[in-house]
Amino acid sequence: MSGNLFGEIFRVMTFGESHGPYIGVIIDGVQPGVPIDLLGIQDELKRRRPGQSKLVSPRKEEDRAEIVSGIFEGKTTGTPICILIGNKDQRAGDYKKLQHVLRPGHASSTFLQKYGIFDYRGGGRASGRETASRVAAGAIAKQLLQQRGIKIFAYTYQISNIEIETVDLTEIEKNPVRAPDPKAARKMIKAIENAQKKGDSLGGIIEIRVLNCPAGLGEPVFNKLEADLAQALMSIGAVKAFEMGDGFKASTMKGSQFNDQFYFDRKAKRFRTKTNHAGGVLGGITNGEELVMRIAVKPPSSISKKQQSVDYAGKTIGFKIGGRHDPCICPRIVPVAEAMVALVVIDHLLMQERITEQKGIPHLESMIRTIDTQLILLLKQRLNLIENIKERSDKPIDTKIGKLSKDWYKKTKTINLPPKLSNVLFEILTKYS
């Protein structure tokens, strides 16, 4: 199975199935010596895990992150980071009766057509359980971004037809739907509970914001930042649509309305825009404004209401899904969305830093240190060769060096080496011959 790798520099590969012994992630491309808060990784996993409230799956998973490699004494070693997360509360028996049923909205039919086999126990790799691995990787990416002053927030923008009216970021973690509007949150909770009682489920919209994102991230053609963000967020199983800035609303606007007018911010000493209809990206590259995007999340497919479908033999069958499932996945998608956005931003940031470092003083200083090291090694090699000549020759070595003096000065003049430096180097080299 391909398609398990994500990223160019900050590379992530997830593995494992919903009802296997473990799920996990391997992260490559993190520089050595970077401090990592292990409790911070655990906090992010806690936000995503099931069993948090009556509005999500009651499956009991600790989602304890086990660091296998890549982090030592709280710092990265530069080697691949491997994180394992145990599956402790599997109930494969809940799916036994449905193992030969094509469940509406699930990936069983497409998996069978592609691979000829499907892990029916909770959906295998197609299960939302896989996203815990993404959150673990995203937790590290978020820490690297926070070290650069960049913060990411996601929240429930809409559930069913209930939309937020205010945005207070401090309210997000205070309610089980993770909405920034407490009044809207109460309505959302009631709507989910009503759907749950009827054996049904609800979808919604998640909004993600990136604060203090620098300008210059993204490429102008195939790797536009919004294109990579769309790929990342659309790779989440329940997500069916993506938009940046005003998104689909832009199709109803005039150019005079949508265009973000520039001005020079004298305090920040940079160009800014008075509005942000573009969502912080122009021509595929960040412009320094806040990144704003939204994703549409479908209602969960696993519902307890009786449904009809067919089995693998094509026979029509009526069935009900048992087990433990989310009546609305939006609250648990929030940390997953943050993680995927973090993976994209850190990857593009590291790519951009490679460009800027090539032109900056730190890169030049690094080149000087490399040359100094090479000079030291060459001098040592020269001394070794001289000792070797002394052991094999009866004549004094300094006479041989003296014969090279004309050639020495000729070469130093060719490369415009200052005469004083040339004389000093010649005297030192002759002395230690």
Q: How far apart (Å, rounded) are the C-alpha atoms in residues 63 and 86?
A: 7
- What pLDDT score was predicted for residue 345? 98
| pLDDT tens digits for range 87-110 | 876 555 566 677 778 888 888 788
List the Cα angle 128/134/137 in 5-degree steps. Answer: 160
Assigned CATH for 5-245+280-359 = 3.60.150.10
- What pLDDT score was predicted for residue 357? 64
Nearest to 90 by CA among 37, 183, 18: 18
Across all residues in the chain, what is the average pLDDT?
A: 87
Between 1-15, 70-84, 136-150, 418-432, the lowest mean confidence (pLDDT) is in: 418-432
Which backbone phi and psi does 274 adopt, to 5 degrees?
-75, -30
Amino acid at 55: L
| pLDDT tens digits for range 192-237 | 999 999 999 999 999 999 999 999 999 999 999 999 999 999 999 8
Please determine, for residue 398, whether its predicted confidence score (pLDDT) is greater than 60. no
Please compute the mean of the pLDDT values over residues 17-28 and round it to a whole number: 89
| pLDDT tens digits for range 272-300 | 999 999 999 999 999 999 999 999 999 98
Q: And the tokens for 366?
A: 């690094």
- What pLDDT score was predicted for residue 363? 62
Please determine, for residue 301, whether its predicted confidence score (pLDDT) is greater than 90. no
Within 10 angstroms of residue 388's Cβ, the number of other Cβ atoms is 10
Please compute the mean of the pLDDT values over residues 420-433 and round it to a whole number: 79
Q: Tell me the CB-side half-sphere exposure of residue 84, using CA atoms within 13 A.
A: 9
Q: How far apart (Å, rounded) are the C-alpha atoms in residues 230 and 242?
A: 6
Q: And the tokens for 207?
A: 């909004």
- What pLDDT score was predicted for residue 218? 95
In terms of Cβ atoms closer than 10 Å to its own Cβ (0-12, 13-18, 19+), residue 179 is: buried
Q: In the structure, what pLDDT confidence band is assigned to residue 388 with cuts at 50, 70 and 90?
A: confident
- What pLDDT score was predicted for residue 188? 97
- What pLDDT score was predicted for residue 89? 61
Please determine, for residue 403, whether its predicted confidence score (pLDDT) is greater than 60. no
Q: Between these two residues, 420 and 246, which has the higher pLDDT value? A: 246
Q: How far apart (Å, rounded) are the C-alpha atoms in residues 97 and 79?
A: 44
Please determine, for residue 359, whether its predicted confidence score (pLDDT) is greater than 60. no
| pLDDT tens digits for range 158-203 | 999 999 999 999 999 999 999 999 999 999 999 999 999 999 999 9
Please determine, for residue 399, whether its predicted confidence score (pLDDT) is greater than 70. no
